[in-house]
Amino acid sequence: MGKKRTDKELLVYLWNIVRLHLKEFYFVIILLLLNVAFGTIAPLFFRKALDLIQTNDISTTLKMILTPLVAYFLLMLVKWFWEVFQNIFKAKLNAQITKDLRVKAFNGLLENNLTFFDNSESGYLTSSLTNDINEMREAGQRFVDLFTSLFRLIITIGILLYFSPKLTLASVVFLPIFFIVVFSLRKYQRRVAKVWRKNFATVNQRFSETMRSIAISKSFAREKENIKKFTDLNEETYKSSIKRGFAIFIIGPINDFFRHMLLIIILAVGTIETYNGNLDVATFYLFIFLMDYYYYPLLSLARNYSRFQSLFVNLERLLDISENSDIKEINTSLKIAEKIQGEVEFKNVNFSYVEDTPVLKNISFHIKPGQRVALVGHTGSGKSTIAALIPRFYNIDDGKILIDGVKIQNYELKSLRFVIGLVSQRVLLFKGTIRENMLIGSENASDKDIWNALDAVQARDFIELLPHSLDFMVTEGGKNLSVGQRQMLSYARVLLGKPDIIILDEATSAVDLYTESKIQDSTELLLKGRTSIVIAHRLTTILNSDFIIVLEDGEIKQIGTHKDLMSQKGSYQEMYQLYFKTQSAKYLEKIKTAM
Amino acid sequence: MNSLKWVARLHLRYPFKTFYVLLGGMIEILLFLLPISITANVIEISIEGGGIANAKGQLWFLLGLAFVQAFLYFSVSFLNEVLAHRVTTDITQELFESLQYRSLTYHDSKDVGNIMARATGDTRTINIAISPAVRIIINITIVWIVAFIITLSIHYILALITVIVFIVFAITTSIYTKKILPLSVKTRENFAEISEVINSGLTGIREIKSFVATPWSKKKLLKTAIRYQKNVIKEETKSAWFYPIFVVTIYSALMIVLSLYFVYKGLFGIGIKEVILIAGFVSFLTGMSEEVQWTMWFLIRGKVSADRIYDIVSEKDPDAYKDGDLEFESKHATIEFKNVSFRYKNGLPYALRNISFKVEDLQTIAIVGPPGSGKSTITKLIQRLYLPTSGEILLSGKPISDYSNKSLRKNITTVEQDIFLFNLSVKDNIRYGKSNATDEEIVNVAKIAEAYDFILKLPNKFENLIGEGGVRLSGGQAQRLSIARALLLNPSILLMDDGASALDARTEVQIQKAISEILRTRTTVITTHRLAIIAKADLVIILENSKIVGLGTHEHLIRKNPYYRRLFEKHYELPALEAK
Ligand SMILES: Nc1ncnc2c1ncn2[C@@H]1O[C@H](COP(=O)(O)OP(=O)(O)OP(=O)(O)O)[C@@H](O)[C@H]1O
Ligand SMILES: Nc1ncnc2c1ncn2[C@@H]1O[C@H](COP(=O)(O)OP(=O)(O)OP(=O)(O)O)[C@@H](O)[C@H]1O
Ligand SMILES: [Mg+2]
Ligand SMILES: [Mg+2]
């Protein structure tokens, strides 16, 4: 998905985050440089002492020998403290960067359009923002190490050059070969890391899906199949982690091998040079001693380089979902929607979710401010789709949707949604108290407002019976409330926001007829003066609408008042008759005669 | 058993790998140390004025060693990594399986985001703890032992110092570990919170957008992310003060200084070669011991994570019940509730109180009542998703708990009110309960459920993916798939929990027609608000406030029962059929 990003772009993105914490960053770098310097200088004192002892001149006094030794000792101590500080600042920097990355990615993700979410899975996305970022944190840690390594390498080579250019040259001869080997693994490392992260996210997704569907999978006794399917995925993930492990661990032995070679070269060249009198033993030893200073950075350079591949992979995945302009909701205007009259007009609107599968065809209607309009039609005819287009959840293919005469694209998106209240067909409550759920769209509402809204949807009684009443903890998705209760809350929280345009998409479909009619009566007042669009299969719900739009297969078949439509022979009349035949009328007749 | 034993036991499933890694790891590090003494030897040759000819043997040996060591190192480290992934894969598997067999009551109290954090986040930390952290700790221990041997070979005082330092190092390390542990527990918890917040934001994205609640959601994440950040900083700051290494640093400096001093003074017969050996060795030792800092920290985190997963795997599920072994045989079934009371959790009000009724074979019962009155709860109890708090449920005369789970599931299916569909193809969704169903069967039930026509209109027909939770379908389409999915099993007891709420009258009538034959041949429980269905039922149960307030046939209730009458009272005021 999306375009390919170059490494440079990825690094720039990272750097832009690091830049927010320049103070810490510089601190870390400075501490780090000093630390390396201390670490590299200390062996020089050691060489000095060794040299003095080895040559064993009569002129060397104890003091002459002890001075470098004490200096060595002290340097080691200081180095320790330095390292502590360095680690502390590193931790700070890293934690801040992680937080920024995560928050930024999440914020970006939330701005994506619904088409993106229709096609993705929450558990999968979550993994990117949790696990992948943590993985990157480890990589971030290494990023700092990378600096250290480079710096150490340069200093060490500098010192070595000073003492014996020949031996130095002999010992860097492997460097290019080594880097070529490491570098050539890059592509492979990335490829396997990508698969690995993908599988990892799928495991996350599977957990999420299985947890959410536990009731249905129990009813269908799917435990065994679930496990079997999971085992396949899990084993697949195992295989990909091993491949990735191989890509990382193969560096180790290559490294060790080169280290041994290096040692052999230094020893061989050193012995020859000493023999020829070009080198003193102390310096010879310094090379050995510093070898690890030279070799360790190499090791970590190589190791970090391969971990870096994961960083790139993860960052790329992250940016694909959070910073991808193809999938963003685009705010086309700054005009704030305010004090809306509530006029809604569709002009020849065509829309499809998937290309070439039109869902709405040439839809036109006009709702005057304050009118109550009903949308009816068989299932799948496109009612919810119309409801989703008004707050611009999706962009239409062509035609126009106007609110108060202004195209909805010309309103600032958030303000547009703010004036529209949508009780959606799929109810979702969040984990949290009932109060928190109510306040989601209107943070500042008082308890009194909340109770008013709850009263209107007849929810007071059941909430008062719950432990802690408004502070009752709703579990994830509202699973510890009955479906009807969830619907009432979802209706109430829209009422609480006092939107200018309210859309009720099967808002009371799970509620019994008696309660529904009570809700209708009590919301009457609240809905007065607001434009409302009601979608319902229960035709009892919509009889007192100003007009009714009849949809069939994405097209408008009829528009008119109940009376008009009943007098036309058409779909509405048919629907209505069928509805009442099956719903009540026949039986009501019976009831009347029975009593 | 605790979590560490559990993880250890998982390792023992792979005795060869574990053994190889442990033993190989020890040998490998020894081989790695050999060059230090070879170096000392070669330098000694130079000190004594020897040339390359004298050193040749040693260098060749070193070359051979390079191959062996590199191979051993790779095989051990890679096998260690394999083992770590193997074990964490098993851990993930065990976690998944344990969740599968938990009671629904147990699941009610769990959060998806939280479990996800454990399933993937925590397993990963365990993974890192096993490879490389454990191996490095083993390496370090070996290095210390070798240090002891080398120093002993030079002089016992040096060896004594080594032992003392090691003991101090080990003790301080364990003290340090204890201090970090609680901080790690906190960070892991915070991580799970982050996962919860992100996941809930993403699953609720439609609500969040619609209520313009993005700021709310962002703030929530920011808060948890900052909390996590703070705890991580605390944890890492503490771990940065890894003072045990301080002791080692002093030790190594001291050893070098001392040995040089001894040479200078000509004490104990120590020569330059010994100094080089010691210097080479202690600086290696210090380097290795420095690694203890992060390895210990990784180990701690690994332990904390193992605890977190083991908590779930080993958690008691007081609501789990023993599976019976009675087979549910006949296609005929009666359902009887005897004084059943039920609540979902202690402290919550009863969802059902003293419910008694009996459904005869092949009967259809309708349950009606206002939201929250307990209708769905009854259907869940019939499926044995929960056991009654008190009272008894009999299926075909036998207590429900006597039946085997398998036969119950096969014979009772449900069209649930709160539909869950999978992000699979339409076909896979329909055959969810019967994976070996033929295409013909699938098409057949799709037709009965009036889903066939719309499925054919989807771009990929039966192979069309329907999005997470079925988001790419309309409400009624989702419901019809759920009906088809239930019908495919051809159950003896069919439960329809508000199974037509999202359907228009025409579709519903069509489905009704198609399934009326099916309904006649099995016991059916329907909760609904539609009078047409209710009126046809053999028995109607009216629930209100978790109690039965009316029981009987429609004809009876409509005349006698005020609650029932109230439900449909409003219809009196509806305009009469105008067209006729
Ligand atoms: N997110 C989506 N992606 C792709 N197709 C979709 C999506 N949502 C709905 N559809 C399709 O668009 C058509 C209209 O769906 P819509 O939800 O508007 O129907 P509806 O009239 O609300 O039906 P119902 O009464 O069943 O709720 C359906 O065929 C459906 O499959
Ligand atoms: N998983 C659960 N945990 C705790 N309480 C629950 C749970 N499910 C339902 N309840 C509570 O039990 C009571 C009965 O719920 P139930 O779902 O049976 O109602 P219902 O009659 O089906 O309502 P509706 O018509 O809204 O579907 C309600 O008060 C509800 O809040
Ligand atoms: Mg709809
Ligand atoms: Mg229910």
Using the predicted structure, report yes or no on whether residue A144 has a pLDDT greater than 80.
no
CB pair distance less than 8 Å for A575 and B532: no
Q: pLDDT-derived band of residue B1, with 50, 70 and 90 as boundaries?
A: low
Q: Does A27 touch chain B (CB under 8 A)?
A: no
A422 interfacial to chain B (CB closer than 8 Å) = yes
Looking at residue B87, its pLDDT comes to 92
- Which is more confidently placed, B354 or B516? B354
Query: Distance, CA B447 to ligand 1 centroid (Å)?
Result: 19
Taking the C-alpha atoms of residue B344 and residue A301, their distance in angstroms, rounded to an integer, is 57
Q: Considering only CA atoms, which residue is closest to atom 2 of ligand 2? A: A480
Cβ <8 Å between A540 and B571 = yes
Residue B432 and residue B351 share a domain: yes
Nearest to A515 by CA among A456, A574, A452: A456
Q: In this structure, are B306 and B373 located in the same domain?
A: no
* A221: closest CA of chain B, how far (Å): 6
pLDDT over threshold 80, residue B245:
no
- How far does residue B377's CA lie from ligand 2's centre (Å)? 6
Residue of chain A nearest B571, judged by CA positions? A584
Residues of A in contact with B191 (CB under 8 A): 130, 134
Ligand 1 pocket mutation pick from B450, B457, B465, B473 by most atoms within 8 angstroms of CB: B473
* pLDDT of B208 above 60: yes
Q: How far is the CA of A436 from the centre of ligand 1 (A)?
A: 30
Kindly list the distances between the CA atom of residue B37 and the CA atoms of A263, B276, B382, in Å, as whole numbers in the listed order.
Answer: 12, 9, 77
Confidence (pLDDT) at B528: 84
Residue A181 to chain B, least CA–CA distance (Å): 15
Q: What angle do CA A26, A32, A33 make, to 5 degrees?
A: 95
Phi/psi of residue B340, each to 5°? Answer: -80, 130
Q: What is the ipTM of this complex?
A: 0.86
Residue A594, pLDDT above cutoff 70: no
Long-range contacts of B488-491 (CB under 8 A, 24+ apart): B488/B430, B488/B431, B488/B433, B488/B434, B488/B437, B488/B441, B488/B442, B488/B445, B489/A220, B489/B410, B489/B413, B489/B433, B489/B434, B491/B410, B491/B411, B491/B412, B491/B413, B491/B522
Ligand 2 centroid vs B375 CA: distance in angstroms? 8
pLDDT of res. A139: 66
Q: Is A551 on the interface with B (CB under 8 A)?
A: no
Which contiguous run of DSSP H or E holds residue B391? strand B390-395
First to last CA, chain B: 77
For residue B327, being part of any structural domain is answered with no
Give the distance from CA B317 to its chain's centroid.
16
pLDDT at A54: 64
- Picking from B70, B229, B559, the nearest residue to A594 by CB comes out as B559
Which secondary structure element, helix H or strand E, spans residue B126, and what is its range? helix B123-128
User: Quick check: B400 and B560 in contact, CB under 8 A?
Assistant: no
Residue-level pLDDT at B400: 86
Q: Helices marked H in B241-318 — which ranges?
A: 244-265, 272-314
Is B424 in the A-facing interface, judged by CB distances under 8 Å?
no
Higher local confidence (pLDDT), A420 or A572: A420
pLDDT of residue A240: 92
The answer to whether position B329 is within a domain reads no
pLDDT at A235: 92
Q: Which atom of ligand 2 is nearest to the CA of B380?
A: 18
Establish if A221 touches chain B: CB-CB under 8 angstroms: yes
Question: Does pLDDT of A587 surpass 50?
Answer: no
Does B253 touch chain A if contact means CB atoms closer than 8 Å? yes
Classify domain A344-594 by CATH architecture. 3-Layer(aba) Sandwich (3.40)
Q: Within a domain: residue B417?
A: yes
Q: Which of A144-148, A572-576, B332-336, B471-475 has the lowest mean pLDDT?
A: A144-148
Q: Who among A106, A234, A577 is closest to B218 (CB)? A: A106
pLDDT at A327 over 50: yes
Pick from A35-49, A203-217, B446-460: least confident: A35-49
* Any domain includes B321: no
B475 and A379 within 8 Å at the Cβ level: the answer is yes
Q: Which residues of chain A does CATH 3.40.50.300 include?
A: 344-594
Within 10 angstroms of residue B457's Cβ, the number of other Cβ atoms is: 12
Q: Which of A299-308, A502-511, A523-532, B52-61 has the lowest mean pLDDT?
A: A299-308
Which CATH number covers residue B49?
A: 1.20.1560.10
Summarize the confidence of residues A523-547 as an average pLDDT: 84
Q: Give nearest CA residue, ligand 1 atom 7.
A: B472
Tens-digit pLDDT profile for residues B482-494: 889 888 888 888 8
**Cα–Cα dist A288/B39, whole Å:** 8
Residue B438 phi/psi, 5-degree rounding, is: -80, 160
SS3 per-residue string spanning B406-431: HHHHHHEEEECCCCCCCCCEHHHHHH
Tell me what the pLDDT averaged over chain A comes to.
82
A464 with A472: CB under 8 angstroms?
no
d(CA A248, CA A135): 14
Q: Tell which atom from ligand 1 comes closest to the C-alpha of B471.
A: 1
Q: Mutating which of A55, A127, A171, A267 best tests the B interface, going by the most B Cβ atoms within 10 A?
A: A267
**Residue A239 confidence (pLDDT):** 92
Task: Provide the pLDDT for residue B578.
Answer: 36
Q: What does the pLDDT look like over B104-146, one tens digit per residue?
A: 888 888 888 888 888 888 998 898 888 888 888 888 888 888 8
Confidence of residue B85 (pLDDT cuts 50, 70, 90): very high
Interface of B with A in 382-401 (CB under 8 A): 383, 385
Triad A21, A22, A26: Cα angle to 5°? 125
* Encoded amino acid at B318, one letter: P
- What CATH number labels A7-185+250-324? 1.20.1560.10
Q: Do B42 and A267 touch (CB under 8 A)?
A: yes
Q: Which residue do the tokens 């979802």 mark?
A: A490
Q: What is the pLDDT of residue A296?
A: 67
Choose from B10, B531, B573 for mutation: most chain A CBs within 10 A. Answer: B531
Q: Which of A57-66, A336-345, B332-341 has the lowest mean pLDDT?
A: A57-66
Q: In chain B, what residues touch A543 (CB-CB under 8 Å)?
A: 574-575
For the Cβ of B562 lying below 6 angstroms from any atom of ligand 1, the answer is no
Please report the pLDDT score of residue B580 as a whole number. 28
Given CB atoms, is B182 within the 8 Å cutoff of chain A? no
Name the residue in chain B with its Cα closest to that of A93.
B233
Cα(A482) to centroid(ligand 4), Å:
5
Q: Domain of B339: which CATH number?
A: 3.40.50.300
Per-residue H/E/C for B23-88 = HHHHHHHHHHHHHHHHHHHHHHHHHCCCCHHHHHHHHHHHHHHHHHHHHHHHHHHHHHHHHHHHHH
**Would you state the pLDDT for residue A56?**
61
What's the average model confidence in pLDDT over A312-317? Answer: 87
pLDDT averaged over every residue in chain B: 84
| A-contacting residues in B 502-531 (Cβ below 8 Å) | 502-509, 512, 529-531
Measured CA to CA, the distance from residue B296 to residue B173 in angstroms comes to 8
Chain B closest-CA separation from residue A421 CA (Å)? 7
| B341/B462 same-domain check | yes
Return the residue of B nearest to A580 by Cα. Answer: B577
Closest CA to A262 of A188, A173, A132: A173
Distance separating alpha carbons of residues A109 and B218, to the nearest angstrom: 10
| Residue B575: per-residue pLDDT | 35
Atom of ligand 2 nearest to the CA of A486: 26
Which of chain B's residues have a Cβ under 8 Å away from the Cβ of A107?
A: 214, 218
Paired tokens of B486 = 């239930």
Assess whether the C-beta atom of B344 lies below 6 angstroms from ligand 2.
yes
User: How far does CA A418 lie from the centroid of its chain?
Assistant: 24
Which candidate, A455, A391, A447, A468, places its Cα nearest to that of A423?
A391
B576: contact with A, CB 8 A cutoff: yes
What is the pLDDT, as a whole number, of residue A1?
44
Stronger pLDDT, A273 or B129, i.e. the higher one: B129
- Split into its structural domains, chain B has a count of 2
Q: For the residues A389-400, what does the mean pLDDT come to?
A: 90
Size of interface A-B (CB pairs under 8 A): 540
- The residue of chain A nearest to residue B579, with distances taken between CA atoms, is A566
B322 occurs within a structural domain: no
Residue B89 — pLDDT band, cuts 50, 70, 90?
very high
pLDDT at A591: 44
Ranking A13-22, B142-151, B286-295 by mean pLDDT, the lowest is B286-295
Least confident of A48-57, B458-467, B490-499: A48-57
Instruction: Tell me what pLDDT residue A3 has.
Output: 60
Confidence class of residue A59 from pLDDT cuts 50, 70 and 90?
A: low
Host domain of residue B544: 335-568
Same domain for B11 and B118, yes or no, is yes
**B535 part of contact set with chain A, CB < 8 Å:** yes
Least confident of A342-356, A437-451, B562-576: B562-576
A68-74 average pLDDT score = 76
User: In this structure, is residue B578 part of a structural domain?
Assistant: no
Task: Compute the nearest-CA separation of B428 from chain A (Å).
Answer: 13
Residue B319: enclosing H or E segment and its boundaries?
none
Mutate to test the interface with A, among B120, B305, B423, B473 (most CBs of A within 10 A): B120
Contact status, residue B263 vs residue A51, Cβ threshold 8 Å: no
| CA torsion angle B16 B21 B24 B28 (round to 10) | 160
Asked if the model's pLDDT at residue A279 lies above 50, the reply is yes
**Predicted pLDDT at B93:** 92
Distance A423 CA to ligand 1 centre (A): 16
Percent over 90 (pLDDT), chain A: 8
The average pLDDT across B318-342 equals 81
pLDDT digits (tens, 9 = 90+) for B386-433: 888 888 898 888 888 888 888 888 888 888 888 888 888 999 899 888
CA atoms within 13 A on the CB side of A400: 11
Angle between helices A7-18 and A281-322 (to 10 degrees): 90
Name which residue sits closest to atom 1 of ligand 2, judged by CA.
Answer: A480
pLDDT at A242: 92
Asked whether residue B56 is assigned to any structural domain, the reply reads yes
At residue A503 the predicted structure's pLDDT band, cuts being 50, 70 and 90, is very high
Task: For chain A, give every residue range classified as CATH 1.20.1560.10.
Answer: 7-185+250-324
Q: Does position B295 have pLDDT exceeding 80, yes or no?
A: yes
In a domain, B16, yes or no: yes
Are B205 and B349 found together in one domain?
A: no
Burial call A76-92: b when 16+ CB within 10 Å, e when fewer: beebbebbbebbbbbbb
Element containing residue A262 per DSSP (H, E):
helix A251-275
